[in-house]
Amino acid sequence: MEDRYDLEELVTNSPDMYFFDMDEDGAPELCIADTAGTFVCKYDPETDGYVSWYDNITSGGCILGSRKIGYTHNDDEEYLNQMDKDGQIETRIEYAALMHPQRYIVSIPGYMERLQKGQIPESMKRKLYYDGQNYFIRVTKEQYKDLIKGLHDARKQAEEHTVPLSYFIEDIENEEYQSKYNLNYKHKHQ
């Protein structure tokens, strides 16, 4: 931890820290999500050190489980990223609850590829919204709630995998250690 992160910042920000097998190789990765971003560190036995499997300095991220990372932006946009085994985004779904005018839209992954292959009927094309990057379909408020429920459930389930910072730094409560790193740590977890 000391090699990769500023301990004072970690303690001050109280990040969400998890163990998840993000790349599904049978070994868990250390995952950190806080206001500074979302980071996944993978242990590399060849170097006996940690390498970055994924990092994004956008706030609002959360780890949702193996190969899944979510983001919330301004409480009206949420994203679900399905990652590949190397930590690259494979598929992204964007959910947006727009207020002026009030409407609910959900992106359609892989739509551009299907559109280019001629697999989308003309009647469907007219019902879609394109923001310059993604195609979205309008849904009702009830449909939106149903579609986004899985994302919200995954966030709750992920909380069960959080671990306190004191798990990683055994002597974090030691006064000499706190003084060395200018920490003002107050133990929250038992």
Residue 190: band (very low, low, confident or very high) from pLDDT cuts 50, 70, 90: very low
Decide: 19 and 29 in contact? Cβ < 8 Å.
Answer: yes
Determine the Cα–Cα distance for residues 43 and 38; give it in Å rounded to an integer.
17
177-185 average pLDDT score:
57
Average pLDDT for the chain: 80
56-82 average pLDDT score:
86
- Tokens 């292959």 appear where? 117
Burial 48-58 (b: 16+ CB within 10 A, else e): eebeebbebee
| Structure-token pair, residue 25 | 């190789």
Alpha-carbon dihedral of residues 145, 161, 90, 73, nearest 10 degrees? 50
pLDDT tens-place string over residues 148-176: 998 889 888 888 888 877 776 666 666 76
Percent of the chain's residues with pLDDT above 90? 21
pTM of the predicted protein model? 0.74
pLDDT of residue 143 exceeding 90, the answer is yes
53-75 average pLDDT score:
86
Determine the Cα–Cα distance for residues 19 and 65; give it in Å rounded to an integer.
9
Whole-number pLDDT of residue 100:
76
Give the least confident one: 1-5, 30-34, 71-75, 181-185: 181-185
Determine the Cα–Cα distance for residues 26 and 180; give it in Å rounded to an integer.
36
- Tokens 């551009």 appear where? 112
102-107/77-83 β-pairing: unpaired
